[in-house]
């Protein structure tokens, strides 16, 4: 399990609870970590933006139907990985996408894997960059995060409700009202949040 967090809770609850926590990854004995500053919730079968919309089950998304607490890692555009924490009970098909981190540890190691990042704020700002900086790929798909020595979540620093911003998720295209659903959660005024920056509270 994840200390102080129930991953079998609904995606919206887990998404909010993840803000301020530290994501930790061990690569070749080096600890890389960052504070979670931005996430998106995907709430299951009814969510037109979710990979499990309408109950679709494929080889790609099967991990999303596992019980909360497992990792769902997929590849987009044939080149960028995205890291998600599966939430809810088994077969619910919910997950939280980890969108951005504030780098804390192993920054020099991150720079090696993210050579185009000129500033520390750009190392983990966006889901593909986050995965590159932490060396996350499909080999971690299905990992039970509460029992892993490779990647885990620590309590970090709680985020007060006054510092939590909600707004629409990014790049959803033609998903009807789901395109505007306030399911993106981020920390107010954090320079490490990805673009476009949310504007609602």
| Residue 34, strand partner residues | 23, 103
- Compute mean pLDDT per 10 residues along the chain, 201 residues long, and list them: 88 98 96 98 94 92 96 90 97 97 97 94 96 97 92 95 94 85 95 81 53
Q: Please tell me the distance from the alpha carbon of residue 178 to that of residue 159, in angstroms, as a whole number.
A: 26
Phi/psi class of residue 45: alpha, beta or left (left: φ > 0; alpha: ψ in -120 to 50)?
Answer: alpha
Residue 194's nearest CA partner among 98, 79, 113 is: 98
Q: What is the pLDDT of residue 14?
A: 98
The CA distances from residue 98 to 29, 170, 177, in Å, are: 23, 12, 22
Measure the CA–CA gap between 34 and 117, rounded to whole angstroms: 16
From the list 134, 149, 8, the residue with the least C-alpha distance to 67 is 8
Dihedral of alpha carbons 131, 135, 137, 143, sign: negative
In the numeric block, which tokens belong to residue 73?
Answer: 């890692």
Give the per-residue pLDDT at 2.
79
User: What integer pLDDT is reported at residue 199 of this predicted model?
Assistant: 63
Predicted local confidence at residue 32, as pLDDT: 98
d(CA 91, CA 30): 35
Q: What is the pLDDT of residue 185?
A: 97
């Amino acid at each position: 399990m994840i200390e102080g967090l129930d991953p079998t809770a609904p995606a919206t609850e887990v998404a909010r609870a993840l803000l301020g926590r530290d994501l930790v990854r061990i690569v070749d004995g080096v600890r890389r970590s960052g504070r979670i500053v931005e996430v998106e919730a995907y709430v299951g079968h009814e969510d037109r933006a979710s990979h499990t919309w309408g109950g679709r089950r494929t080889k790609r998304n099967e991990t999303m139907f596992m019980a909360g607490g497992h990792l769902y890692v997929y590849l987009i555009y044939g080149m960028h990985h995205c890291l998600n924490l599966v939430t809810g009970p088994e077969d619910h098909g919910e997950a939280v996408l980890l969108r951005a981190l504030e780098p804390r540890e192993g920054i020099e190691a991150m720079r090696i894997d993210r050579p185009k990042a000129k500033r520390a704020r750009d190392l983990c700002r966006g889901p593909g960059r986050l995965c590159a900086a932490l060396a996350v790929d499909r080999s971690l798909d299905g990992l039970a995060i509460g029992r892993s020595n490779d990647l885990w979540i620590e309590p970090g620093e709680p985020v007060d409700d006054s510092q939590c911003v909600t707004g629409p998720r990014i790049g959803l295209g033609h998903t009807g009202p789901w395109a505007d659903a306030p399911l993106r959660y981020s920390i107010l005024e954090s320079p490490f949040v990805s673009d476009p920056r949310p504007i609602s509270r």
